[in-house]
């Protein structure tokens, strides 16, 4: 399980609990449970059932590569031939995180993606953040941002600079970066590679892309625990900000 605190004020703490399975925890004022696997989760209120694709990193590299879609395998091999390079940072600095936040803010605004930059900072502070990047001739094409606990690593964000003329090259680099991430995380002792959610109804293209790497589809449950009064105040604050 992974626990992070994204907001901390005098009488308020917003906490996130990832992969919770009913361990003993110290809750905050506003608690977000992500990909919980509790047996009694049905007793919770407003539970969102989600699906994600998990790749078992205990398999051999050969087994992991063979389970990838044949087209993607060819793209990965092409990336190797044209010398796309990869950099993986397991201990990103505060300055690196600020760079990532600035870059992704522009991408998220363009794509209309809601996200939480405080999560990036909180993960960096407890050394649970990984950033990987793919380059071609020293030019960055794709960036992946992950969180992890001791065994599971989850893709939080995947983004690129908005250069339409590099779309084909970027697509090859993105597949290659995912494969290199899988191999790197395996070598670092992580056991599960989590693509960060799939939804064939809302995001069929992205979901198909993730499933092409051969993972297993599993269910997870997300929900929020807080006082009814605080929940109403937060909802009001969100409406006023629109």
Spatial separation of the C-alpha atoms in residues 16 and 224, rounded to whole Å: 9
Long-range contact pairs involving 22-28 (C-beta distance under 8 Å, separation at least 24): 25/1, 27/225
pLDDT the model gives residue 242: 56
Spatial separation of the C-alpha atoms in residues 188 and 88, rounded to whole Å: 12
pLDDT the model gives residue 121: 96
pLDDT the model gives residue 44: 76
Q: Is the overall model pTM greater than 0.85, yes or no?
A: yes
Q: What is the pLDDT of residues 17-74, one digit of tens each?
A: 999 988 999 999 999 999 988 777 766 778 889 999 999 999 999 999 999 999 999 9
pLDDT the model gives residue 126: 97
Can you list the domains of the chain with their CATH numbers? 2-51+221-241 (no CATH), 54-217 (3.40.630.30)
Q: Which regions in the chain score pLDDT beneath 70?
A: 42-43, 162-165, 234, 237-238, 240-242
């Amino acid at each position: 399980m992974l626990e992070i605190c994204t907001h901390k004020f005098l009488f308020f703490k917003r906490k996130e609990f990832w992969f919770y399975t009913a361990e003993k925890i110290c809750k905050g004022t506003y608690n977000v449970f992500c990909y919980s696997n509790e047996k009694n989760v049905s007793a919770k209120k407003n539970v969102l059932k989600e699906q994600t694709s998990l790749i078992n990193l205990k398999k051999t590299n050969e087994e992991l590569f063979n389970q990838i879609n044949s087209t993607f395998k060819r793209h990965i091999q092409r990336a190797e031939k044209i010398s796309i390079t990869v950099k993986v940072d397991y201990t990103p600095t505060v300055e690196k995180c600020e760079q990532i936040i600035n870059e992704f803010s522009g991408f998220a605004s363009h794509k209309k993606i809601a996200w939480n930059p405080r999560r990036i900072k909180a993960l960096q502070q407890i050394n649970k953040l990984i950033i990987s990047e793919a380059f071609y001739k020293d030019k960055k094409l794709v960036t992946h941002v992950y969180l992890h606990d001791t065994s599971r690593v989850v893709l939080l964000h995947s983004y690129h600079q908005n250069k339409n003329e590099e779309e084909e090259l970027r697509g090859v680099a993105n597949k290659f970066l995912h494969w290199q991430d899988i191999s790197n995380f395996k070598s670092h002792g992580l056991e599960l590679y989590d693509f960060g959610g799939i939804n064939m109804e809302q995001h069929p293209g992205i979901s198909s892309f993730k499933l092409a790497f051969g993972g297993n589809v599993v269910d997870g449950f997300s929900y929020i625990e807080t006082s009814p009064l605080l929940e109403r105040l937060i909802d009001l604050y969100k409406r006023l900000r629109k």
